[in-house]
Amino acid sequence: MPDAIFSHPRLARIHNAFGGDRDDLTAYLRIADELGADRVLGVGCGTGSPAAHGYRVLDVRQAPDRPGREFVFVAERTT
């Protein structure tokens, strides 16, 4: 489960606005388009920006609250 402070939608928008330029996403999303993908996997990365482009996003995040598990599936997001 993500830290509570990062799960609020308003904070996610602020993170995206100030989190720096993500020019690399354009190339990755283009590849997903070429492959006909309808969902992408996000591993510990940001706030799910690909969902804003119409993809279903499967998020995997760090899980410090779950002993013995480094990462867990958190959520599936859509626009």
Q: Could you report the average pLDDT of every consecutive run of 10 residues in the chain (79 residues)?
A: 63 67 79 90 68 77 66 58
Would you kindly state where each structural domain of the chain is located, as residue ranges?
A: 4-77
Helices (H), 19-62: 24-35
* E-only strand ranges, the chain: 39-43, 56-62, 71-77
Q: Which residues on adjacent β-strands are paired with residue 40?
A: 57
Q: Which residues on adjacent β-strands are paired with residue 73?
A: 60
- CA atoms of 71 and 63, how far apart (whole Å): 5
- CA atoms of 7 and 68, how far apart (whole Å): 23
Q: What is the pTM of this model?
A: 0.52
